């Protein structure tokens, strides 16, 4: 009996490690990665199973970096990412798996900057965000952003950040903290120390909703009653742009939300069989309606 159980355990572990397979008569597709996408990934999995009862889609979060590492090691079929794979990651995956990772855009996210619902601030610029979150940044108190200094609730700014395995962490750093000098050379500014780092998007929102002085960032799909999403402008003094579906889709730069990003799915090589069918369904009107219901932006032509 012990030998039988051991062999069974090894067999299940091998199936899990090899990605798409069969357990108990079901085909299993394993999806891993972005915490930003975990809610919609779970919703997709549940909705798909309703019409495809022979397919079980198993979803794990942990961050884009975790999903990419799992894809490189061959432990998942799809890596959900809120940032693009980096060249070294692509090279490593290609070397280890024998095929280059393929990228698919599943939707859009107007990456939102959240403040407490009672915070009087409604708009903030990329420049000001860089001074709040960036190394050497000089904005540390709400009064520096025009908030009434007599308000005891809004004094020192409390920065809420994500852990460095998060794709959201990486994307925000590149989109907000990096800038170009007069010669066009990119200056890679890092985060300043002293933030409160959270492992998940829900944790970020929960902390901000209970902390009037806090500010943080997360996917637009995590809007909740205790927080509000600020309008974002490219430069101080310019009108802020709200994180809406229309503004995320806008082609004209002055109307486009400044920190819009794609929600990505990666596979090793072109997806085949049940994995391809699942991704095709996600990109179909039915899959895109699920994405929209969660609070994200369907890709053009769908939803």
**Looking at residue 67, which CATH number applies to its domain?**
3.40.190.10
Q: How far apart are CA 291 and CA 48, in angstroms?
A: 13
Residue 18 lies in a domain: no
What is the residue-averaged pLDDT of the chain? 89
CB 218 within 8 A of CB 168: yes
Number of domains into which the chain is organized: 2
pLDDT bucket at 23, cuts 50 / 70 / 90:
low
Question: For residue range 227-276, what is the model confidence (pLDDT) as tens digits?
Answer: 999 999 999 999 999 999 999 999 888 899 999 999 999 999 999 999 99
Q: Are residues 86 and 121 in the same domain?
A: no
Mode of pairing for the β-strands spanning 26-33 and 55-62: parallel
Mode of pairing for the β-strands spanning 214-218 and 196-198: unpaired
Q: Are residues 95 and 212 in the same domain?
A: no
Q: Are residues 272 and 137 in the same domain?
A: no
Domain coverage including residue 126: 112-258
Q: Are residues 30 and 81 in the same domain?
A: yes
Residue 208 lies in a domain: yes
Q: What is the pLDDT of residue 22?
A: 56
105-120: b (≥16 Cβ within 10 Å) or e: ebbbbbbbbbbbeebe
Question: For residue range 65-76, what is the model confidence (pLDDT) as tens digits?
Answer: 999 999 999 999
Q: Are residues 98 and 197 in the same domain?
A: no
Q: Are residues 225 and 286 in the same domain?
A: no
Percent of the chain residues past pLDDT 70, beyond the cut? 89
Residue 7 has pLDDT above 50, yes or no: no
Residue 92 lies in a domain: yes
Residues 151-174 have a mean pLDDT of 91
Question: For residue range 84-128, what is the model confidence (pLDDT) as tens digits?
Answer: 999 999 999 999 999 999 999 999 999 999 999 999 999 999 999
Residue 133 lies in a domain: yes
Q: Are residues 244 and 119 in the same domain?
A: yes
Residue 48 lies in a domain: yes
Q: Are residues 76 and 209 in the same domain?
A: no
Q: Are residues 210 and 137 in the same domain?
A: yes
Q: What is the pLDDT of residue 9?
A: 35
């Amino acid at each position: 009996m012990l030998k039988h159980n051991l062999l069974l355990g090894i067999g299940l572990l091998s199936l899990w490690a090899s990605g798409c397979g069969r357990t108990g008569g079901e085909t299993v597709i394993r999806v891993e990665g972005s915490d930003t996408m975990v809610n919609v990934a779970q919703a997709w999995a549940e909705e798909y199973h309703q019409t495809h009862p022979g397919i079980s889609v198993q979803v794990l979060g942990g961050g884009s970096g975790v999903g990419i590492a799992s894809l490189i090691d061959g432990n998942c079929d799809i890596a959900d990412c809120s940032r693009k794979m980096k060249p070294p990651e692509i090279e490593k995956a290609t070397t280890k798996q024998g095929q280059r990772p393929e990228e698919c855009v599943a939707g859009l996210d107007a990456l939102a900057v959240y403040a407490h619902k009672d915070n009087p601030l409604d708009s903030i610029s990329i420049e000001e965000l860089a001074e709040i979150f960036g190394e050497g940044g000089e904005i540390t108190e709400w009064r520096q952003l025009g908030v009434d200094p007599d308000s005891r609730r809004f004094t020192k700014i409390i920065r809420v950040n994500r852990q460095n395995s998060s794709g959201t962490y990486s994307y925000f750093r590149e989109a907000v903290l990096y800038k170009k000098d007069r010669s066009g050379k990119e200056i890679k500014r890092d985060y300043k120390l002293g933030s409160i780092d959270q492992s998940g998007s829900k944790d970020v929102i929960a902390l901000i909703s209970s902390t009037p002085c806090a500010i943080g960032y997360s996917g637009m799909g995590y809007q909740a009653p205790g927080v509000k999403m600020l309008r974002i402008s490219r430069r101080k003094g310019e009108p802020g742009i709200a994180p809406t579906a229309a503004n995320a889709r806008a082609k004209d730069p002055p109307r486009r939300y400044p920190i819009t990003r794609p929600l990505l799915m990666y596979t090793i090589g072109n997806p085949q069989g049940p994995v391809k069918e699942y991704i095709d369904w996600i990109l179909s009107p039915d899959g895109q309606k699920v994405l929209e219901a969660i609070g994200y932006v369907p890709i053009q032509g769908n939803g």
